[in-house]
Amino acid sequence: MTNEITPAEKAINDWLPVTASRKAKWWYSAFHNITAMVGAGVLSLPYAMSEMGWGAGSVVLILSWIITLFTLWQMVEMHEMVPGTRFDRYHELGQHAFGEKLGLWIVIPQQLLVQAGTCIVYMVTGGKSLKKFHNTVCPTCQSIRTSYWIVIFASVNFALSLCPNFNSISAVSLAAAVMSIAYSTISWVASLQKGKVPNVDYGFNAHSTADGAFNFMSALGDVAFAYAGHNVVLEIQATIPSTEDKPSKIAMWKGVVVAYAGVAFCYLPVAFIGYYIFGNSVDDNILITLEKPAWLISTANMFVIVHIIGGYQVFSMPVFDMMETYLVKKLKFPPSFTLRLVARTLFVATTMIIGICIPFFGALLGFLGGFAFAPTSYFLPCVIWLKLYKPRRYGLSWIINWTCIVLGVLLMILAPIGALRKIIISAKHYKFFS
């Protein structure tokens, strides 16, 4: 990764989605990060709390917020750690730390699993939210299969996926960020309005100690899924202009702080108030538990749909960048609109088909997510930091990084075990193509 690039390479970089435009303002970073971070996963946090209990649940949620903010700061700092070079993509930073080939193998499979996996979950969630909206608004209408709703949701993404780069989806991302804060607020305000359910029970919904332990592990996966924004952070920073006087990290960090304030505003009230009001009777989506008033819950579901459309675009943009980089640089296809149209349509169609075939993909993601979400958000940035900066052994930086690594590795091991057990137990209820 030298500073000298040929005119042909510059032309390709100016065409690729991540490096095409470097005119983003700091607030672009704020709403892209909120859109990436505050997914529909926030609605499952009260349920995660019910599986962890007040003490452990509060510790896990708050500790996750602190750790992931710290690792996000590290990534922002490392974006331009080599003077004159910008690591515009997560795997470029990985290659700098671990070498050209190993860096790719460490980062790309995990990053792709997170991004493509999230896009599939968003397809399923988008379809289900449309169905829920339809059934709430018109309870007497004939019910339409989830598969058709997923196709309807996908049609919007087919069109939006042709936006050339990150800056071109900034309006969609802003709308999505506003919606995520709106439906999070609706869910906890409506819970407060409803009031504590009679005989609320904060005990574990487990039949045995082993059952409780596995549920706890599965809940860890739900929390890890809620902090997936690291997989697009360097790509977002790549869109911000940078000079010697004003490096991109200043504007980027400003946006991250605002985004994380938004994350705390969404996650903590939803998790704590939702659990306080409903106890262990809460569903895995708090909007299902609420049900009334119908107009408010249907509005919240519409907000979820708008947010997921933006979230899909933010998570798919780095995938489009990887695909187009491979097609243009490795396979030597000339950059063109046709190439972009074919590649992106294929990706959106693939996520749609998997979503239709496996509408319970969210359960699988808890399993897959443990492997990929925990490393990319919780400890891979710390490993790269230790490798590149080599802080003094047993110094503060060294201790903090190793603590994050140990906790992240535990999360990576425990979350998939809990999720896999849940998949096996629920498998008899799963229907393909439902």
The secondary structure element, H or E, covering residue 52 is helix 45-78
Q: Do 308 and 35 form a contact (C-beta atoms < 8 A)?
A: no
CA distance 150 to 351: 10
Give me the phi and psi of 332, to 5 degrees please. 60, 30
Structure tokens belonging to residue 362: 């969210």
CA distance 163 to 167: 9
**Rg of the chain (C-alpha set):** 21
Q: What is the pLDDT of residue 2?
A: 43
List per-block mean pLDDT (blocks of 10 residues) for the chain, which spans 434 residues.
67 83 84 81 85 89 92 92 88 91 90 87 87 83 87 94 85 90 88 84 78 84 78 88 89 92 91 89 78 78 89 91 91 90 95 85 68 84 93 93 93 86 74 65
Q: pTM for the complete prediction?
A: 0.88
Tally of CB atoms within 10 A around 336: 11
User: Taking the mean position of all CA atoms in its chain, how far away is CA 427?
Assistant: 25
Structure tokens belonging to residue 318: 């780095």
Q: What long-range pairs does 172-175 form, CB within 8 A, spacing at least 24? A: 172/309, 172/310, 172/313, 173/28, 173/31, 173/32, 173/35, 173/310, 173/313, 173/314, 174/31, 175/306, 175/310
CA distance 19 to 11: 10
Structure tokens belonging to residue 162: 């042709």
The candidate with the shortest Cα–Cα distance to 340, out of 161, 219, 141, 138, is 161
Packing angle between helix 45-78 and helix 380-389, nearest 10 degrees?
20
Packing angle between helix 100-137 and helix 361-374, nearest 10 degrees?
150
CA distance 189 to 183: 10
Domains of the chain: 24-429 (1.10.4160.10)
Q: What is the pLDDT of residue 430?
A: 65
Q: What is the pLDDT of residue 369?
A: 66
Q: What is the pLDDT of residue 1?
A: 42
The candidate with the shortest Cα–Cα distance to 124, out of 363, 302, 345, 319, is 363
Q: What is the pLDDT of residue 421?
A: 82
